[in-house]
Structure 1
């Protein structure tokens, strides 16, 4: 290795470590602050490691209803993600594997949904949920969550399914399989990496979604986690260590999901990148 290559490699490692510290510091600060007492936070608010660890804030956030918010978020997020995966998978199969006249227009229509701003739909969705009698229920969130998760999901799955060799489908047809069996036995098992990608992408988006929850939910017992965290803001003072404890617990499902499925996510993101 010549000196120029060595210098480039050293600079690359320095840049990577700098970016790691820049992105990792807020997370470490959140965890460290959650173990501080209120007095210590006011005395030394910018330090990462507390002088004396306390877990009282982790108990207090559950007393303030974090368990209810957590369960509501789990129920609505998992339900929306499962429904999104099923609908997107079934829609992507004909769009990617079956030739018909409206194939391309329908695909472009779904892709156009990614450009639709969420805020432009708030009033129509608010009126619609009230008219359907599901306002202030978790069911009111299910429709918007699935609708705004479908465009990107169909886009990813369609691109991924197009790369599956035609020979697999033709072999299944020779064995007498219809489209339904081909989808479940051949196509679906081969798009698991792409499904992992859309599961994590949509889970993170829905887990942190705030606007629809703010508009469609008013009862404390129906609030999701992002909306319920508002209750940690007092009238005259914010319990910052308690808020950090709640945020630490709220981030655990997303981190765990990504750690378990990160390899499949990379395959799903790069699977449709190469054609031919």
Structure 2
């Protein structure tokens, strides 16, 4: 029995290590290539350890306007995520805690919105932004980003809020709390794990979104990071180390947000387990 248990652990650790290498190698290769010169890359394109470490690629991508793209992506992504969290959480409260005639049909509309391909709305949104006079601005991206992020966010938060014990809400009612106070003081703090999930999902999606930015943005001053990364290649050549440096910098905010939100999810789940 002991030998069998050790054998199972060995294969489990082997599987985990294999998955780690499979998923981690591309990231290590990206960082390693970003620290190579063009000559070093052509001499050893597949090596992980560069012969001569250089940070010139990082300086060059900033000289090519990466800072502007970075700032634009931060502004539109954080603004969209904040708006989505506020609207989705407030919409999920009546859908999950109040019983009224059109409760389920309204929730089904959000589910249908999850199935709608956003490519089908590109032309109407393009025409609408031109008529509103916000084409080629970050405001043109705000509406589509929020609209297409809401359905899955409302669905996640509604399902999570339904699991919050009703006794907490009843205790707040005894103290004379209104629906507004019950939402902010009881439900919102107890849905932090679900809100963190919504933040991670939407941040990754919006930070890497390309199609809407391609259609609704044309000037370099308004370009987001995914759209601006197209400029890091020439007509007849590609600066691979430079592109890898840009991709490394572009991936850092996603990693930081994921690590921060992941801790929130774990704390929220642990806190809920202790209360239960």
Both proteins in one fold, TM over 0.5: yes
Give the structure 2 partner of residue 89 of structure 1: 89
SS of the residue 2:30 aligns to: helix
Asked if structure 1 preserves the Cα contact closer than 8 Å seen for 2:77 and 2:206, the reply is: yes
Residues 268 and 160 from structure 1, CA distance in 2 versus in 1: closer, same or farther, beyond 3 angstroms?
farther
* Separation (CA, whole Å) in 1 of partners of 2:52 and 2:231: 26
Consecutive unaligned residues of structure 2, counting only runs of 5 or more, are none
Deviation at 1:270, TM superposition (A): 11
Task: Please state if 1:16 is matched with 2:3.
Answer: no
Deviation at 1:268, TM superposition (A): 7.4
Task: Please state if 1:206 is matched with 2:202.
Answer: no
Normalised by the size of structure 2, how large is the TM-score?
A: 0.95
Deviation at 1:165, TM superposition (A): 0.9
Within 5 A, what are the aligned runs for 1:156-195? 156-195=156-195
Q: 1:77-108 CA distances to partner (integer Å, 9 max, x unpaired)?
A: 00000000000011000000000000000001
Asked if structure 1 preserves the Cα contact closer than 8 Å seen for 2:70 and 2:225, the reply is: yes
Task: Please state if 1:137 is matched with 2:100.
Answer: no
Asked if structure 2 preserves the Cα contact closer than 8 Å seen for 1:194 and 1:264, the reply is: no
Asked if structure 2 preserves the Cα contact closer than 8 Å seen for 1:61 and 1:242, the reply is: yes
Deviation at 1:266, TM superposition (A): 5.4
Structure 1 range deviating more: 237-246 or 173-182: 173-182
Residues 205 and 258 from structure 1, CA distance in 2 versus in 1: closer, same or farther, beyond 3 angstroms?
same
Within 5 A, what are the aligned runs for 1:61-76? 61-76=61-76
* Separation (CA, whole Å) in 1 of partners of 2:70 and 2:134: 21
Give the structure 2 partner of residue 105 of structure 1: 105
Deviation at 1:236, TM superposition (A): 0.6
Asked if structure 1 preserves the Cα contact closer than 8 Å seen for 2:161 and 2:187, the reply is: yes
- Paired residues in the alignment total 272
Asked if structure 1 preserves the Cα contact closer than 8 Å seen for 2:190 and 2:268, the reply is: no
Asked if structure 2 preserves the Cα contact closer than 8 Å seen for 1:36 and 1:54, the reply is: yes
Normalised by the size of structure 1, how large is the TM-score?
A: 0.95
Consecutive unaligned residues of structure 1, counting only runs of 5 or more, are none
